[in-house]
C-alpha cells in the first residue's frame, strides 16, 4: 500500500540528497537489518521479521507513525498493530545486543571512530 504522497516521500531531492543516494536503498536497508537479525532471536522465537516490519514502517512513513498504522501499511490493511506492539513492548529481545552490534559496526568503520 502506498499513500498519495509516496512519490514525494521517496524523492531524494526532498531530503537534500542526490538521486544516487537512494539507489538500491531497499536492498541496502535489508542488508543492515540482516546484520541485526540475531539481536531479535530469543531462546524460543525468532522475532526479527517484526524488527524488519517496524524498520520499514518507521523509515517509509512521513507521518502518523504508530504500531497500528505501521502494521496497516506494511503487513495488511486490516492489521491492528497489536502483534507489532507486543514485539516492541514485551518481547524479550535484547536491547543490549542491538547496542553491541551498533558498537561493532562503528569500530569496523574508521570514518566513524570517535563518533557519537
Number of domains in the chain: 1
In a domain, 69, yes or no: yes
pLDDT per residue as tens, the chain (116 positions): 445 456 676 778 887 888 888 788 888 889 999 999 999 998 888 999 999 999 999 988 889 999 999 999 999 999 999 999 999 999 899 899 999 999 998 888 888 777 66
Q: Is 1 contained in some domain?
A: no
Q: Which of 92, 116, 96 is nearest to 106 (CA)?
A: 116
Within-domain flag for 39: yes
Cα separation, 89 vs 75, whole angstroms: 18
What's the Cα-to-Cα distance from 74 to each of 11, 26, 86, 109, rounded to whole Å? 19, 14, 16, 32
Domain coverage including residue 78:
6-112
Q: Residue 7 has what pLDDT?
A: 65
pLDDT at 31 (0 to 100)? 93
Residue recorded with cell 504522497: 5
Amino acid at each position: 500500500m502506498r499513500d498519495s504522497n509516496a512519490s514525494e516521500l521517496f524523492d531524494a531531492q526532498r531530503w537534500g540528497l542526490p538521486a544516487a543516494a537512494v539507489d538500491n536503498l531497499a536492498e541496502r536497508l535489508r542488508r543492515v537489518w540482516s546484520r541485526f537479525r540475531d539481536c531479535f532471536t530469543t531462546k524460543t522465537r525468532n522475532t526479527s521479521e517484526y524488527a524488519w516490519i517496524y524498520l520499514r514502517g518507521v523509515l517509509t512513513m512521513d507521518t502518523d507513525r504508530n504500531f497500528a498504522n505501521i502494521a496497516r501499511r506494511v503487513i495488511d490493511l486490516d492489521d491492528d498493530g497489536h502483534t507489532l506492539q507486543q514485539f516492541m513492548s514485551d518481547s524479550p529481545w535484547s536491547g543490549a545486543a542491538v547496542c553491541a552490534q551498533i558498537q561493532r559496526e562503528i569500530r569496523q568503520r574508521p570514518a566513524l571512530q570517535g563518533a557519537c
